[in-house]
Chains A and B, each alone.
Chain A
Protein backbone atom coordinates (compact mmCIF):
# COMPACT_ATOMS: atom_id res chain seq x y z
CA UNK A 1 0.00 0.00 0.00
CA UNK A 2 1.44 3.33 -0.93
CA UNK A 3 0.13 6.64 0.12
CA UNK A 4 -1.22 8.69 -2.75
CA UNK A 5 -1.95 11.68 -0.58
CA UNK A 6 0.43 13.99 1.19
CA UNK A 7 3.05 11.34 1.92
CA UNK A 8 3.61 10.57 -1.71
CA UNK A 9 4.75 7.02 -2.20
CA UNK A 10 5.43 6.22 1.43
CA UNK A 11 4.02 2.98 2.71
CA UNK A 12 0.91 3.37 4.70
CA UNK A 13 -1.86 1.42 6.30
CA UNK A 14 -4.51 4.01 5.86
CA UNK A 15 -4.42 7.49 4.57
CA UNK A 16 -6.67 10.04 2.97
CA UNK A 17 -6.16 8.39 -0.37
CA UNK A 18 -4.29 5.20 -0.84
CA UNK A 19 -3.97 2.57 -3.37
CA UNK A 20 -2.92 -1.03 -3.12
CA UNK A 21 0.11 -1.61 -5.28
CA UNK A 22 2.14 -4.80 -4.91
CA UNK A 23 1.25 -5.41 -1.32
CA UNK A 24 4.30 -6.34 0.75
CA UNK A 25 3.21 -7.50 4.21
CA UNK A 26 6.73 -7.73 5.62
CA UNK A 27 7.53 -4.18 4.61
CA UNK A 28 4.29 -2.82 5.89
CA UNK A 29 4.92 -4.15 9.36
CA UNK A 30 8.38 -2.61 9.56
CA UNK A 31 7.25 0.79 8.46
CA UNK A 32 6.45 3.38 11.16
CA UNK A 33 2.72 3.64 11.09
CA UNK A 34 1.95 6.80 12.97
CA UNK A 35 3.05 8.93 10.01
CA UNK A 36 0.03 8.24 7.91
CA UNK A 37 -2.37 7.05 10.58
CA UNK A 38 -2.45 10.55 11.95
CA UNK A 39 -4.37 11.56 8.85
CA UNK A 40 -7.19 9.13 9.44
CA UNK A 41 -8.95 11.03 12.20
CA UNK A 42 -12.53 11.75 11.31
CA UNK A 43 -14.28 15.03 11.82
CA UNK A 44 -17.67 15.46 13.27
CA UNK A 45 -20.16 17.50 11.32
CA UNK A 46 -20.28 20.93 12.90
CA UNK A 47 -21.14 24.54 12.20
CA UNK A 48 -18.30 26.67 10.93
CA UNK A 49 -16.32 28.74 13.36
CA UNK A 50 -16.30 32.46 12.82
CA UNK A 51 -12.92 32.32 11.18
CA UNK A 52 -14.04 29.60 8.81
CA UNK A 53 -17.29 31.38 8.02
CA UNK A 54 -15.31 34.47 7.21
CA UNK A 55 -13.06 32.69 4.74
CA UNK A 56 -16.03 30.96 3.10
CA UNK A 57 -18.00 34.18 2.79
CA UNK A 58 -15.05 36.12 1.53
CA UNK A 59 -14.63 33.58 -1.23
CA UNK A 60 -18.34 33.60 -2.05
CA UNK A 61 -18.46 37.39 -1.95
CA UNK A 62 -15.85 37.40 -4.67
CA UNK A 63 -18.46 35.98 -7.03
CA UNK A 64 -21.85 37.04 -5.72
CA UNK A 65 -21.06 40.02 -3.51
CA UNK A 66 -23.74 40.96 -1.03
CA UNK A 67 -26.04 38.32 -2.51
CA UNK A 68 -24.66 35.91 0.12
CA UNK A 69 -27.42 37.08 2.36
CA UNK A 70 -29.90 35.57 -0.08
CA UNK A 71 -28.22 32.22 0.50
CA UNK A 72 -28.36 32.55 4.27
CA UNK A 73 -31.84 33.99 4.60
CA UNK A 74 -34.06 32.13 2.22
CA UNK A 75 -37.80 32.39 2.06
CA UNK A 76 -38.21 28.73 1.13
CA UNK A 77 -36.73 27.27 4.30
CA UNK A 78 -33.80 27.37 6.69
CA UNK A 79 -30.47 26.63 5.18
CA UNK A 80 -27.16 26.38 6.95
CA UNK A 81 -23.47 25.77 6.35
CA UNK A 82 -21.92 22.72 7.96
CA UNK A 83 -18.37 21.44 8.02
CA UNK A 84 -17.93 17.72 7.57
CA UNK A 85 -14.55 16.13 6.88
CA UNK A 86 -13.03 19.49 5.94
CA UNK A 87 -15.75 20.09 3.37
CA UNK A 88 -18.39 22.78 3.66
CA UNK A 89 -21.91 21.72 2.90
CA UNK A 90 -24.89 23.93 2.25
CA UNK A 91 -27.86 22.06 3.64
CA UNK A 92 -31.45 22.64 4.49
CA UNK A 93 -32.00 22.42 8.21
CA UNK A 94 -34.38 19.53 7.90
CA UNK A 95 -31.91 17.34 6.02
CA UNK A 96 -29.11 18.38 8.35
CA UNK A 97 -31.11 17.23 11.36
CA UNK A 98 -31.75 13.91 9.70
CA UNK A 99 -28.10 13.54 8.79
CA UNK A 100 -27.06 13.74 12.43
CA UNK A 101 -28.42 10.22 12.80
CA UNK A 102 -25.71 8.89 10.51
CA UNK A 103 -22.31 8.07 11.93
CA UNK A 104 -19.57 10.44 10.97
CA UNK A 105 -17.55 7.72 9.29
CA UNK A 106 -20.50 6.65 7.21
CA UNK A 107 -21.71 10.06 6.17
CA UNK A 108 -20.14 10.78 2.82
CA UNK A 109 -22.08 13.80 1.72
CA UNK A 110 -25.09 15.81 2.80
CA UNK A 111 -26.74 18.68 1.01
CA UNK A 112 -24.54 20.47 -1.50
CA UNK A 113 -20.80 20.61 -1.12
CA UNK A 114 -19.73 24.24 -1.52
CA UNK A 115 -16.03 23.59 -1.30
CA UNK A 116 -13.33 22.41 1.00
CA UNK A 117 -10.72 23.71 3.36
CA UNK A 118 -7.20 23.04 2.29
CA UNK A 119 -4.62 21.88 4.78
CA UNK A 120 -3.45 25.44 5.11
CA UNK A 121 -7.04 26.31 6.08
CA UNK A 122 -7.82 28.21 2.93
CA UNK A 123 -11.21 27.72 1.39
CA UNK A 124 -11.49 26.40 -2.13
CA UNK A 125 -14.73 26.39 -4.08
CA UNK A 126 -15.95 23.24 -5.73
CA UNK A 127 -17.89 23.10 -8.95
CA UNK A 128 -20.85 21.68 -7.03
CA UNK A 129 -21.45 25.18 -5.65
CA UNK A 130 -22.20 26.48 -9.13
CA UNK A 131 -25.95 25.89 -8.96
CA UNK A 132 -26.26 28.21 -5.98
CA UNK A 133 -23.89 30.83 -7.28
CA UNK A 134 -24.97 31.23 -10.88
CA UNK A 135 -28.33 32.95 -10.20
CA UNK A 136 -26.65 35.58 -8.03
CA UNK A 137 -23.55 36.22 -10.08
CA UNK A 138 -22.41 39.82 -10.17
CA UNK A 139 -19.95 39.45 -13.00
CA UNK A 140 -20.42 37.06 -15.85
CA UNK A 141 -18.39 35.94 -18.78
CA UNK A 142 -19.82 34.20 -21.82
CA UNK A 143 -17.70 31.77 -23.80
CA UNK A 144 -18.08 31.26 -27.52
CA UNK A 145 -19.11 27.73 -28.54
CA UNK A 146 -15.65 27.22 -30.07
CA UNK A 147 -13.98 27.81 -26.70
CA UNK A 148 -16.41 25.85 -24.57
CA UNK A 149 -14.65 22.52 -24.91
CA UNK A 150 -11.26 23.93 -24.06
CA UNK A 151 -12.65 25.52 -20.90
CA UNK A 152 -14.46 22.33 -19.90
CA UNK A 153 -11.16 20.47 -20.19
CA UNK A 154 -9.71 22.75 -17.54
CA UNK A 155 -7.95 25.38 -19.63
CA UNK A 156 -7.95 29.13 -19.17
CA UNK A 157 -10.13 31.24 -21.41
CA UNK A 158 -8.40 33.05 -24.24
CA UNK A 159 -9.48 36.30 -25.74
CA UNK A 160 -10.39 34.44 -28.94
CA UNK A 161 -13.12 32.46 -27.19
CA UNK A 162 -14.47 35.38 -25.18
CA UNK A 163 -18.04 35.93 -26.27
CA UNK A 164 -19.26 38.58 -23.89
CA UNK A 165 -18.29 39.95 -20.51
CA UNK A 166 -20.06 42.06 -17.94
CA UNK A 167 -19.27 45.72 -18.33
CA UNK A 168 -16.83 47.16 -15.78
CA UNK A 169 -15.48 43.84 -14.63
CA UNK A 170 -12.30 44.60 -12.70
CA UNK A 171 -9.11 42.62 -12.93
CA UNK A 172 -8.83 39.44 -10.83
CA UNK A 173 -12.56 39.49 -10.20
CA UNK A 174 -14.35 36.19 -9.61
CA UNK A 175 -16.70 35.57 -12.49
CA UNK A 176 -19.16 32.88 -13.45
CA UNK A 177 -18.58 31.44 -16.88
CA UNK A 178 -21.57 30.90 -19.14
CA UNK A 179 -21.98 29.37 -22.54
CA UNK A 180 -23.54 31.61 -25.17
CA UNK A 181 -26.84 29.87 -24.49
CA UNK A 182 -26.65 31.07 -20.86
CA UNK A 183 -25.73 27.71 -19.39
CA UNK A 184 -23.40 28.11 -16.38
CA UNK A 185 -20.15 26.28 -17.03
CA UNK A 186 -17.89 27.15 -14.13
CA UNK A 187 -15.92 29.75 -12.20
CA UNK A 188 -12.98 31.81 -13.14
CA UNK A 189 -11.00 34.88 -12.22
CA UNK A 190 -10.47 37.58 -14.79
CA UNK A 191 -6.88 38.23 -15.70
CA UNK A 192 -7.79 41.54 -17.29
CA UNK A 193 -10.45 44.09 -16.75
CA UNK A 194 -13.15 44.52 -19.37
CA UNK A 195 -11.35 47.50 -20.84
CA UNK A 196 -8.06 45.66 -21.09
CA UNK A 197 -9.82 42.72 -22.73
CA UNK A 198 -10.69 44.90 -25.68
CA UNK A 199 -7.05 45.60 -26.37
CA UNK A 200 -5.85 42.06 -25.71
CA UNK A 201 -4.46 39.78 -28.40
CA UNK A 202 -6.61 36.80 -29.41
CA UNK A 203 -4.17 34.39 -27.74
CA UNK A 204 -4.06 36.27 -24.44
CA UNK A 205 -5.70 34.75 -21.40
CA UNK A 206 -8.64 36.82 -20.28
CA UNK A 207 -9.91 34.56 -17.50
CA UNK A 208 -8.15 32.05 -15.31
CA UNK A 209 -9.83 28.72 -14.93
CA UNK A 210 -10.94 27.83 -11.41
CA UNK A 211 -13.61 25.21 -11.73
CA UNK A 212 -15.74 23.85 -14.55
CA UNK A 213 -18.53 21.36 -14.95
CA UNK A 214 -16.12 19.00 -16.69
CA UNK A 215 -14.87 18.16 -13.22
CA UNK A 216 -17.99 16.13 -12.67
CA UNK A 217 -16.33 13.64 -14.99
CA UNK A 218 -12.66 14.37 -14.44
CA UNK A 219 -12.67 14.31 -10.65
CA UNK A 220 -15.71 12.23 -10.09
CA UNK A 221 -14.20 10.34 -7.17
CA UNK A 222 -13.23 13.39 -5.15
CA UNK A 223 -16.36 15.45 -5.63
CA UNK A 224 -18.98 14.82 -3.01
Chain B
Protein backbone atom coordinates (compact mmCIF):
# COMPACT_ATOMS: atom_id res chain seq x y z
CA UNK B 1 0.00 0.00 0.00
CA UNK B 2 2.75 2.23 0.98
CA UNK B 3 4.89 1.90 -2.25
CA UNK B 4 1.79 2.30 -4.43
CA UNK B 5 0.92 5.31 -2.45
CA UNK B 6 4.38 6.76 -3.02
CA UNK B 7 4.23 6.08 -6.74
CA UNK B 8 0.78 7.56 -6.99
CA UNK B 9 1.86 10.52 -4.99
CA UNK B 10 4.87 11.02 -7.21
CA UNK B 11 2.80 10.85 -10.34
CA UNK B 12 0.21 13.25 -9.02
CA UNK B 13 2.95 15.55 -7.86
CA UNK B 14 4.60 15.37 -11.30
CA UNK B 15 1.30 16.01 -12.95
CA UNK B 16 0.64 18.93 -10.65
CA UNK B 17 4.08 20.33 -11.38
CA UNK B 18 3.53 19.90 -15.09
CA UNK B 19 0.21 21.66 -14.81
CA UNK B 20 1.79 24.40 -12.87
CA UNK B 21 4.67 24.80 -15.34
CA UNK B 22 2.84 25.91 -18.38
CA UNK B 23 4.46 25.84 -21.75
CA UNK B 24 6.74 28.71 -22.74
CA UNK B 25 4.85 28.91 -25.96
CA UNK B 26 2.08 31.47 -25.89
CA UNK B 27 -0.33 31.83 -28.74
CA UNK B 28 -1.75 35.27 -29.33
CA UNK B 29 -3.81 36.64 -32.16
CA UNK B 30 -2.13 40.02 -32.08
CA UNK B 31 1.58 40.12 -31.31
CA UNK B 32 2.36 42.39 -28.40
CA UNK B 33 4.69 45.32 -29.01
CA UNK B 34 7.98 44.78 -27.23
CA UNK B 35 10.57 47.37 -26.37
CA UNK B 36 13.37 45.26 -24.97
CA UNK B 37 15.59 48.22 -24.21
CA UNK B 38 13.14 49.31 -21.55
CA UNK B 39 11.98 45.73 -20.80
CA UNK B 40 8.56 46.92 -21.84
CA UNK B 41 5.77 44.97 -23.51
CA UNK B 42 2.44 46.43 -24.49
CA UNK B 43 -0.47 44.12 -25.29
CA UNK B 44 -2.38 45.34 -28.32
CA UNK B 45 -4.97 42.54 -28.34
CA UNK B 46 -8.49 43.58 -27.36
CA UNK B 47 -9.82 42.01 -24.15
CA UNK B 48 -12.28 39.20 -24.44
CA UNK B 49 -15.07 40.74 -22.39
CA UNK B 50 -16.95 37.53 -21.77
CA UNK B 51 -13.92 35.76 -20.30
CA UNK B 52 -13.05 38.86 -18.33
CA UNK B 53 -16.50 39.09 -16.74
CA UNK B 54 -16.37 35.43 -15.65
CA UNK B 55 -13.40 35.85 -13.33
CA UNK B 56 -11.57 39.12 -13.47
CA UNK B 57 -8.66 38.29 -11.18
CA UNK B 58 -7.84 35.03 -12.88
CA UNK B 59 -8.15 36.57 -16.32
CA UNK B 60 -5.81 39.42 -15.54
CA UNK B 61 -3.31 37.13 -13.87
CA UNK B 62 -3.32 34.83 -16.84
CA UNK B 63 -2.95 37.63 -19.29
CA UNK B 64 -0.08 39.15 -17.35
CA UNK B 65 1.67 35.81 -17.17
CA UNK B 66 1.30 35.20 -20.91
CA UNK B 67 2.60 38.61 -21.84
CA UNK B 68 5.51 38.33 -19.44
CA UNK B 69 6.32 34.96 -20.98
CA UNK B 70 6.42 36.56 -24.41
CA UNK B 71 8.73 39.25 -23.14
CA UNK B 72 11.05 36.69 -21.61
CA UNK B 73 10.99 34.61 -24.77
CA UNK B 74 12.13 37.66 -26.67
CA UNK B 75 14.84 38.35 -24.11
CA UNK B 76 16.16 34.82 -24.42
CA UNK B 77 16.49 35.30 -28.12
CA UNK B 78 18.94 38.14 -27.52
CA UNK B 79 22.67 37.42 -27.53
CA UNK B 80 23.70 36.30 -24.08
CA UNK B 81 26.93 35.83 -22.25
CA UNK B 82 27.89 34.10 -19.08
CA UNK B 83 29.63 35.99 -16.32
CA UNK B 84 30.37 34.66 -12.83
CA UNK B 85 27.68 32.02 -13.17
CA UNK B 86 25.06 34.47 -14.35
CA UNK B 87 23.49 34.71 -17.76
CA UNK B 88 23.52 38.25 -19.05
CA UNK B 89 21.59 39.42 -22.08
CA UNK B 90 22.60 42.52 -23.93
CA UNK B 91 19.56 44.69 -24.38
CA UNK B 92 19.09 46.69 -27.55
CA UNK B 93 18.57 50.47 -27.60
CA UNK B 94 15.27 51.45 -26.08
CA UNK B 95 12.68 52.65 -28.54
CA UNK B 96 10.09 54.19 -26.27
CA UNK B 97 10.82 57.76 -25.33
CA UNK B 98 10.17 58.22 -21.67
CA UNK B 99 9.84 61.71 -20.26
CA UNK B 100 12.47 62.55 -17.67
CA UNK B 101 11.43 62.65 -14.05
CA UNK B 102 13.06 65.95 -13.13
CA UNK B 103 13.12 69.16 -15.10
CA UNK B 104 16.13 69.84 -17.30
CA UNK B 105 18.76 71.54 -15.17
CA UNK B 106 19.13 75.22 -15.88
CA UNK B 107 22.48 76.34 -17.22
CA UNK B 108 24.75 77.82 -14.61
CA UNK B 109 24.71 81.61 -14.67
CA UNK B 110 28.01 82.81 -16.12
CA UNK B 111 30.55 84.42 -13.86
CA UNK B 112 31.82 87.87 -14.61
CA UNK B 113 34.97 86.44 -16.12
CA UNK B 114 32.99 84.05 -18.31
CA UNK B 115 30.92 86.94 -19.59
CA UNK B 116 34.04 88.93 -20.30
CA UNK B 117 35.71 85.97 -22.01
CA UNK B 118 32.68 85.44 -24.20
CA UNK B 119 32.58 89.08 -25.15
CA UNK B 120 36.26 89.06 -26.02
CA UNK B 121 36.15 85.67 -27.66
CA UNK B 122 38.58 84.12 -25.19
CA UNK B 123 38.41 80.36 -25.26
CA UNK B 124 39.51 77.85 -22.68
CA UNK B 125 42.55 75.88 -23.72
CA UNK B 126 42.63 72.31 -22.45
CA UNK B 127 45.92 71.49 -20.80
CA UNK B 128 47.13 68.06 -19.86
CA UNK B 129 46.64 67.15 -16.24
CA UNK B 130 50.08 65.59 -15.95
CA UNK B 131 53.28 67.45 -16.57
CA UNK B 132 56.90 66.39 -16.45
CA UNK B 133 58.70 67.28 -13.27
CA UNK B 134 62.03 68.90 -14.15
CA UNK B 135 63.90 67.52 -11.17
CA UNK B 136 62.63 63.99 -10.90
CA UNK B 137 61.78 63.50 -14.59
CA UNK B 138 58.46 62.03 -13.55
CA UNK B 139 54.97 62.77 -14.67
CA UNK B 140 53.10 64.53 -11.91
CA UNK B 141 49.85 66.46 -11.61
CA UNK B 142 50.01 70.06 -12.78
CA UNK B 143 48.69 71.37 -9.49
CA UNK B 144 47.51 70.13 -6.13
CA UNK B 145 49.04 67.56 -3.84
CA UNK B 146 52.41 66.16 -5.02
CA UNK B 147 52.41 68.53 -7.98
CA UNK B 148 55.18 68.83 -10.52
CA UNK B 149 57.67 71.70 -10.30
CA UNK B 150 56.39 72.62 -6.87
CA UNK B 151 57.57 76.16 -6.17
CA UNK B 152 56.16 76.16 -2.65
CA UNK B 153 58.88 73.73 -1.64
CA UNK B 154 61.72 76.01 -2.74
CA UNK B 155 64.47 76.14 -0.13
CA UNK B 156 66.15 79.11 -1.74
CA UNK B 157 64.64 82.32 -3.02
CA UNK B 158 66.28 85.13 -4.90
CA UNK B 159 66.10 88.57 -3.34
CA UNK B 160 65.13 91.03 -6.08
CA UNK B 161 67.68 93.75 -6.78
CA UNK B 162 65.48 96.59 -5.61
CA UNK B 163 64.00 94.78 -2.61
CA UNK B 164 64.76 95.27 1.04
CA UNK B 165 67.48 92.66 1.83
CA UNK B 166 66.03 91.98 5.28
CA UNK B 167 62.57 91.26 3.96
CA UNK B 168 61.43 87.66 4.33
CA UNK B 169 60.85 86.54 0.78
CA UNK B 170 59.28 83.27 1.92
CA UNK B 171 56.73 85.05 4.08
CA UNK B 172 56.09 87.47 1.24
CA UNK B 173 55.40 84.62 -1.10
CA UNK B 174 52.99 82.95 1.31
CA UNK B 175 51.28 86.27 1.87
CA UNK B 176 50.88 86.81 -1.87
CA UNK B 177 49.35 83.37 -2.24
CA UNK B 178 46.93 84.03 0.59
CA UNK B 179 46.02 87.29 -1.01
CA UNK B 180 45.25 85.58 -4.31
CA UNK B 181 43.11 82.95 -2.63
CA UNK B 182 41.21 85.62 -0.74
CA UNK B 183 40.65 87.58 -3.91
CA UNK B 184 39.34 84.52 -5.66
CA UNK B 185 36.97 83.78 -2.80
CA UNK B 186 35.80 87.37 -2.81
CA UNK B 187 35.11 87.21 -6.51
CA UNK B 188 33.30 83.90 -6.14
CA UNK B 189 31.01 85.38 -3.52
CA UNK B 190 30.45 88.46 -5.65
CA UNK B 191 29.48 86.24 -8.55
CA UNK B 192 26.97 84.38 -6.39
CA UNK B 193 25.55 87.64 -5.12
CA UNK B 194 25.37 89.00 -8.64
CA UNK B 195 23.56 85.97 -9.95
CA UNK B 196 21.11 85.95 -7.08
CA UNK B 197 20.62 89.69 -7.52
CA UNK B 198 21.66 90.54 -3.99
CA UNK B 199 22.62 94.15 -3.50
CA UNK B 200 26.38 94.47 -3.09
CA UNK B 201 28.35 97.41 -1.84
CA UNK B 202 30.18 99.20 -4.59
CA UNK B 203 33.62 97.79 -5.19
CA UNK B 204 35.00 101.29 -5.39
CA UNK B 205 33.47 102.28 -2.08
CA UNK B 206 35.00 99.44 -0.08
CA UNK B 207 37.68 100.47 2.40
CA UNK B 208 41.17 100.01 1.06
CA UNK B 209 44.27 98.91 2.90
CA UNK B 210 46.56 100.80 0.56
CA UNK B 211 46.19 104.24 -0.94
CA UNK B 212 42.87 104.47 -2.80
CA UNK B 213 43.04 104.87 -6.55
CA UNK B 214 41.96 108.00 -8.36
CA UNK B 215 38.75 106.32 -9.40
CA UNK B 216 37.97 105.26 -5.85
CA UNK B 217 38.57 108.75 -4.57
CA UNK B 218 36.35 110.34 -7.16
CA UNK B 219 33.54 107.85 -6.54
CA UNK B 220 33.71 108.48 -2.82
CA UNK B 221 33.86 112.22 -3.33
CA UNK B 222 30.86 112.24 -5.62
CA UNK B 223 28.90 110.09 -3.23
CA UNK B 224 29.73 112.30 -0.28
CA UNK B 225 28.57 115.29 -2.28
CA UNK B 226 25.01 114.01 -2.44
CA UNK B 227 25.02 112.42 1.01
CA UNK B 228 23.41 115.38 2.71
CA UNK B 229 19.89 116.01 3.90
CA UNK B 230 19.21 118.09 0.79
CA UNK B 231 20.74 115.44 -1.52
CA UNK B 232 23.64 117.69 -2.35
CA UNK B 233 21.59 120.67 -3.45
CA UNK B 234 23.60 123.09 -1.35
CA UNK B 235 26.94 121.36 -1.49
CA UNK B 236 29.60 123.93 -2.16
CA UNK B 237 31.73 123.48 -5.22
CA UNK B 238 35.45 123.34 -4.94
CA UNK B 239 37.40 125.60 -7.26
CA UNK B 240 37.78 124.07 -10.72
CA UNK B 241 35.70 121.10 -9.66
CA UNK B 242 33.99 119.18 -12.39
CA UNK B 243 30.64 117.59 -11.73
CA UNK B 244 30.39 113.90 -12.53
CA UNK B 245 28.72 113.19 -15.82
CA UNK B 246 26.77 110.25 -14.43
CA UNK B 247 24.59 111.72 -11.77
CA UNK B 248 22.21 108.77 -11.61
CA UNK B 249 19.38 111.01 -12.61
CA UNK B 250 17.16 109.94 -15.41
CA UNK B 251 16.97 112.31 -18.29
CA UNK B 252 13.68 114.07 -18.45
CA UNK B 253 12.65 115.92 -21.53
CA UNK B 254 10.00 118.50 -22.09
CA UNK B 255 6.82 117.23 -23.68
CA UNK B 256 6.93 117.26 -27.46
CA UNK B 257 3.60 118.99 -27.76
CA UNK B 258 1.73 121.11 -25.29
CA UNK B 259 1.98 124.74 -24.42
CA UNK B 260 4.87 126.04 -26.44
CA UNK B 261 4.84 129.56 -25.05
CA UNK B 262 7.04 128.58 -22.13
CA UNK B 263 9.54 126.94 -24.41
CA UNK B 264 9.55 129.96 -26.70
CA UNK B 265 10.10 132.45 -23.92
CA UNK B 266 12.91 130.34 -22.50
CA UNK B 267 14.52 130.11 -25.91
CA UNK B 268 14.19 133.83 -26.41
CA UNK B 269 15.82 134.52 -23.11
CA UNK B 270 18.67 132.16 -23.92
CA UNK B 271 19.09 133.67 -27.38
CA UNK B 272 19.29 137.16 -25.92
CA UNK B 273 21.80 136.01 -23.36
CA UNK B 274 23.98 134.42 -26.02
CA UNK B 275 23.72 137.39 -28.37
CA UNK B 276 24.53 139.84 -25.60
CA UNK B 277 27.48 137.87 -24.39
CA UNK B 278 30.34 139.32 -26.36
CA UNK B 279 33.45 139.36 -24.27
CA UNK B 280 36.22 141.72 -25.33
CA UNK B 281 37.86 140.03 -28.25
CA UNK B 282 41.30 141.53 -28.42
CA UNK B 283 41.93 140.68 -32.06
CA UNK B 284 38.52 141.99 -32.99
CA UNK B 285 39.07 145.20 -31.07
CA UNK B 286 42.51 145.59 -32.60
CA UNK B 287 41.15 145.00 -36.08
CA UNK B 288 38.46 147.57 -35.51
CA UNK B 289 41.03 150.03 -34.27
CA UNK B 290 43.23 149.40 -37.30
CA UNK B 291 40.25 149.80 -39.57
CA UNK B 292 39.29 153.05 -37.99
CA UNK B 293 42.78 154.50 -38.15
CA UNK B 294 43.13 153.38 -41.76
CA UNK B 295 39.78 154.88 -42.59
CA UNK B 296 40.59 158.17 -40.96
CA UNK B 297 44.03 158.19 -42.55
CA UNK B 298 42.59 157.59 -46.00
CA UNK B 299 39.99 160.27 -45.43
CA UNK B 300 42.67 162.65 -44.32
CA UNK B 301 44.60 161.78 -47.47
CA UNK B 302 41.53 162.46 -49.56
CA UNK B 303 40.98 165.68 -47.72
CA UNK B 304 44.61 166.61 -48.22
CA UNK B 305 44.82 165.61 -51.89
CA UNK B 306 41.46 165.55 -53.72
CA UNK B 307 39.33 167.86 -51.67
CA UNK B 308 42.08 170.24 -50.95
CA UNK B 309 42.83 170.71 -54.62
CA UNK B 310 39.21 171.37 -55.47
CA UNK B 311 38.54 173.89 -52.77
CA UNK B 312 41.92 174.86 -51.66
CA UNK B 313 40.98 178.32 -50.73
CA UNK B 314 38.07 177.23 -48.58
CA UNK B 315 40.01 174.72 -46.59
CA UNK B 316 43.02 176.87 -46.20
CA UNK B 317 41.04 179.94 -45.56
CA UNK B 318 39.37 178.36 -42.50
CA UNK B 319 42.59 177.20 -40.98
CA UNK B 320 44.38 180.29 -41.98
CA UNK B 321 41.61 182.44 -40.72
CA UNK B 322 41.77 180.87 -37.32
CA UNK B 323 45.48 181.10 -37.10
CA UNK B 324 45.45 184.51 -38.49
CA UNK B 325 42.86 185.52 -35.98
CA UNK B 326 44.99 184.19 -33.17
CA UNK B 327 47.97 185.94 -34.49
CA UNK B 328 45.98 189.04 -34.90
CA UNK B 329 44.80 188.76 -31.36
CA UNK B 330 48.31 188.44 -30.20
CA UNK B 331 49.40 191.32 -32.31
CA UNK B 332 46.63 193.47 -31.09
CA UNK B 333 47.56 192.85 -27.57
Contact A195 B274 (CB under 8 A): no
Tell me, rounded to whole Å, the shortest Cβ–Cβ distance linking A20 to chain B.
25
- B8 CB–A CB distance under 8 Å: no
Given contacts A53-B267, A66-B271, A72-B264, contact A194 B291 (CB under 8 A): yes
Given contacts A54-B274, A61-B271, A195-B294, contact A97 B257 (CB under 8 A): yes
Given contacts A78-B264, A195-B290, contact A57 B254 (CB under 8 A): no
- B288 CB–A CB distance under 8 Å: yes
Interface positions of A from 167 to 220, Cβ below 8 Å from B: 167-168, 170-171, 193-196
Tell me, rounded to whole Å, the shortest Cβ–Cβ distance linking B70 to chain A.
52
Tell me, rounded to whole Å, the shortest Cβ–Cβ distance linking B212 to chain A.
31
Given contacts A32-B119, A69-B268, A93-B260, contact A168 B288 (CB under 8 A): yes
CB closest chain-B residue, reference A99: B256
Tell me, rounded to whole Å, the shortest Cβ–Cβ distance linking A38 to chain B.
13
> What is the CA–CA distance of A170 and B271 in the complex, to the nearest angstrom?
21
B residues in contact with A78, CB < 8 Å: 260, 264
Q: Which of A68, A100, A195 contacts B291 (CB 8 A)?
A: A195
> What is the CA–CA distance of A80 and B264 in the complex, to the nearest angstrom?
7
Q: Which of B121, B256, B266, B288 contacts A45 (CB 8 A)?
A: B256
Interface size band for A: 20 to 34
CB closest chain-A residue, reference B290: A195
Tell me, rounded to whole Å, the shortest Cβ–Cβ distance linking B192 to chain A.
25
Tell me, rounded to whole Å, the shortest Cβ–Cβ distance linking A32 to chain B.
7
Contact B267 A81 (CB under 8 A): yes
Given contacts A46-B254, A78-B260, contact A61 B274 (CB under 8 A): yes
> What is the CA–CA distance of A196 and B286 in the complex, to the nearest angstrom?
12
Q: Which of A54, A57, A195 contacts B287 (CB 8 A)?
A: A195
- B200 CB–A CB distance under 8 Å: no
Contact B270 A50 (CB under 8 A): yes
Interface positions of A from 118 to 154, Cβ below 8 Å from B: none
B residues in contact with A66, CB < 8 Å: 271-272, 275-276
Given contacts A193-B287, A195-B287, contact A53 B260 (CB under 8 A): no
Contact A170 B283 (CB under 8 A): yes
> What is the CA–CA distance of A194 and B284 in the complex, to the nearest angstrom?
11
Tell me, rounded to whole Å, the shortest Cβ–Cβ distance linking A173 to chain B.
9
Given contacts A58-B274, A68-B275, A69-B272, contact A171 B257 (CB under 8 A): no
- A65 CB–B CB distance under 8 Å: yes
A residues in contact with B284, CB < 8 Å: 170-171, 193
CB closest chain-A residue, reference B286: A193
Tell me, rounded to whole Å, the shortest Cβ–Cβ distance linking B87 to chain A.
53
Interface positions of B from 259 to 313, Cβ below 8 Å from A: 260, 263-264, 266-268, 270-272, 274-276, 281, 283-284, 287-288, 290-291, 294
Contact A72 B271 (CB under 8 A): yes
Contact B268 A171 (CB under 8 A): no
B residues in contact with A68, CB < 8 Å: 271, 274-275
A residues in contact with B272, CB < 8 Å: 66, 69
Tell me, rounded to whole Å, the shortest Cβ–Cβ distance linking B296 to chain A.
14
> What is the CA–CA distance of A49 and B267 in the complex, to the nearest angstrom?
10
Contact digits for A60-89, partner B, Cβ 8 Å, 1 yes 0 no: 010001101100110000101110000000
Contact B253 A53 (CB under 8 A): no
Tell me, rounded to whole Å, the shortest Cβ–Cβ distance linking B244 to chain A.
16
A residues in contact with B121, CB < 8 Å: 32
Tell me, rounded to whole Å, the shortest Cβ–Cβ distance linking B220 to chain A.
27
User: By CB atoms of chain A within 10 A, which of B251, B255, B256 has the most?
Assistant: B256
CB closest chain-B residue, reference A64: B275
Contact B268 A72 (CB under 8 A): yes
Q: Report A's interface with B, CB cutoff 8 A.
A: 32, 44-47, 49-50, 53-54, 57-58, 61, 65-66, 68-69, 72-73, 78, 80-82, 93, 96-97, 100, 167-168, 170-171, 193-196
12 A-B pairs in the complex with CB atoms less than 8 angstroms apart: A49-B251, A49-B253, A54-B274, A58-B274, A61-B271, A66-B275, A72-B264, A72-B271, A80-B263, A170-B281, A170-B287, A194-B287
Q: Report B's interface with A, CB cutoff 8 A.
A: 119, 121, 251, 253-257, 260, 263-264, 266-268, 270-272, 274-276, 281, 283-284, 287-288, 290-291, 294
Closest 6 pairs (CB-CB, A-B): A66-B275, A68-B271, A170-B284, A47-B254, A193-B287, A46-B253
A96-B257, A194-B291 are known; give 14 further A-B pairs, CB within 8 A.
Answer: A44-B256, A47-B263, A50-B270, A53-B270, A57-B274, A58-B274, A66-B275, A72-B264, A72-B267, A93-B260, A100-B256, A193-B284, A195-B287, A195-B290
